[in-house]
Amino acid sequence: MEKQVVISGFGGQGVMLAGELLAEAGKEENKHVTFLPSYGPEMRGGTAYCDVIVSDENIASPVISFPEAAIILNLPSLTKFEPLMKKGGIIILNKTIIPQNVSRKDIQACEIDALNMAKELGNEKVTNLILLGAYVELEKTVSVDTLKKALKLFLTGRKEKLIPINEQALDAGVKAAKAYSSR
């Protein structure tokens, strides 16, 4: 079993953190993982994205040319990745700030009002984890519990107090995905 996902958004939206967290969780579940960030000048304010692969087997190429799943946090990312999606793939979309719908009919679109949900939780910076929570609920790449365990490795020291709200964000994402699935 191999799961591939592209996570894409503005620099500062926590794209890399979400990707690293997913990779760490995959490692925790004794799977093979690769995390490949885009790098270069575009990381400063432009579109930043990362490719994460979680697999039961050795991973050959860490590059995802045609994603089967994508977590999309802003409009430029949708423009970039929608045409590249594999048929039958799924986009998990930060609906709050993306005024456009997914136009392709051969892929699924799970639209989540993630930024507003994050604001309700009290911190808009957890938008990324709401979407990540939704992704793992839909794709079962890793369990939400492992993600929560991995969170503790990333949020240490002064950031430790942010663990509960990030856990709530993951749960909120799972809930939103369940609502989407039962539609």
Partner 1 sequence: MSEKILMKGAEALAESAIRAGCMAFFGYPITPQNETPEYFSRRMPQVGRVFLQAESEVAAINMVYGAACTGTRVITTSSSPGISLMQEGFSYIANSNVPCVVVNVMRGGPGLGDIAPAQGDYNQATKGGGNGDYHSIVIAPHTVQEAVDLMFDAFELADKYRIMVVMLVDGLMGQMMEPVEFREWVDVKKEAPDWATVGQGNRDHRNIITSLEILAEGLEKMNIALQKKYSEINQNEKRYEEYKMDDAEYGLTAFGTVARISKTVVDMARNKGIKLGLIRPVTVWPFPNEIYEKRREQVKSFFDVEMNEGQMLIDVRLAVEGKRPVFYYGRLGGVVPTAEEILGEIEKKIGGAK
CB nearer partner 1, residue 39 or residue 160 = 39
Which residue from 18, 23, 112, 177 is in contact with partner 1, where contact means CB under 8 A?
A: 23
> Would you give the DSSP letter of residue 182?
T
The β-bridge partners of 128 are none
Residue 175 binds partner 1, judged by CB under 8 A: no
Tell me how many residues contact partner 1 (CB under 8 A): 18
CB nearer partner 1, residue 59 or residue 144 = 59
Residue 179 binds partner 1, judged by CB under 8 A: no
- Can you state the angle between helices 127-139 and 163-181, rounded to 10 degrees? 50
In one-letter notation, the amino acid at residue 16 is M
CB nearer partner 1, residue 45 or residue 62 = 62
CB nearer partner 1, residue 64 or residue 131 = 64
Strand spans (E) along the chain: 2-10, 32-37, 47-55, 69-72, 90-94, 108-112
3-class secondary structure, 140: coil
Query: Which H or E run contains 134?
Result: helix 127-139
From the list 86, 109, 85, 87, the residue with the least C-alpha distance to 98 is 109
CB of residue 30 vs partner 1: minimum separation in angstroms?
9
- Quick note: the x/- pattern for partner 1 over 32-71, rule CB under 8 A, is xxxxxx-xx-------------------xxxx-xx-----
Residues that bind partner 1 (CB under 8 A): 20, 23-24, 27, 32-37, 39-40, 60-63, 65-66
